[in-house]
Amino acid sequence: MTSKQLIPVAGHPLTVYGLEEYKALKVKKPVAIMFALHGRLQNMSKMEDICQALCSLNNNNTERHLIVITFDHPNHGGRLVHKPSNQDWGKNGQGNPFHAQDMWNMYNESSNTVSLLIDVVEDYLFGPTQQSRVQVWGVMGFSMGGHSTFVAAANDPRITVAIPIVGTADFLGLLTARLNASSLPENEYLPQKFQQVVKQKMSNLDHRLKNTKLLIISGEKDKLVPGFYNNNLVKKLELTHSGKKGQDWDFIIVPDCGHEWKPLMFDLSRQWCQKWMLGTSTSRQAHL
């Protein structure tokens, strides 16, 4: 069982996996850090199994030592301030009328938090140093954490590895379909001003991810976040990504899988981290 510690960083309680094992190394290796983001209505403890699975890679005498960090999304877990804000529109609109705005802001704030933590977290983990020990930064997430993963990797060039699981890059497409299924008026629940904000911030996503070692995983039977909402991005990546599909990036549909974790998702994530975080050197600059 890999060690875990609760470490407060700039007002964010982080759970850090694998730090004690790194400190116990007689010869310090370079480090790879993966941020693991949970789903809506969950908390960071729900990512423990995948964190443990990834950190077990350190037993394979890898080139780098992997540390995995989790934290709560805004208004989740220890940061909960208003529970109704985490709910959806509900039947006949009797739930949260600001479901779209709330979820958009929550997962975007988490993507920003990843970048802010990259700025400073090494000092909290290793003590102030003049040079970075981290050679590879990654982010992964489940469901809403998967949405965050797309945004974090697109916005921060330091993040070179990304694994969104049952998440989507097409937030507006997903929410519009849910709205139509609920027969709710678009002008009330997805106003044009809000849609324009989303479109602007999600524009040119394929170009912004073109050098990312991106592994998109969806469930074949997922009705909450169907994998086909990633099809448009995947088609664009086939033209714009600097690497080869199936090697440098991939889109995998897990058979007989709904909106849930499956063992294959653990295996795929471990293999991707082994290849791109703990093996050969990974940097965006090398592909420019």
* Domain regions of the chain by residue span: 4-287
Q: Name the pTM for this structure.
A: 0.94
Residue (of 224, 232, 277, 230) closest to 253 by Cα position: 230
CATH 3.40.50.1820 correct for 4-287: yes
Per-residue pLDDT tens digits of the chain, which is 288 residues long: 999 999 999 999 999 999 999 999 998 899 999 999 999 999 999 999 999 999 999 998 889 999 999 999 999 999 999 999 999 998 877 899 999 999 999 999 999 999 999 999 999 999 998 899 999 999 999 999 999 999 999 999 999 999 999 999 999 999 999 999 988 999 999 999 999 999 999 999 999 999 999 999 999 999 999 999 999 999 999 999 999 999 999 999 999 999 999 999 999 999 999 999 998 544 433 332
Q: Name residue 22's amino acid.
A: Y
Tokens standing for 12?
A: 């964010």
Q: Cβ atoms within 10 A of the Cβ of 129, count? A: 10
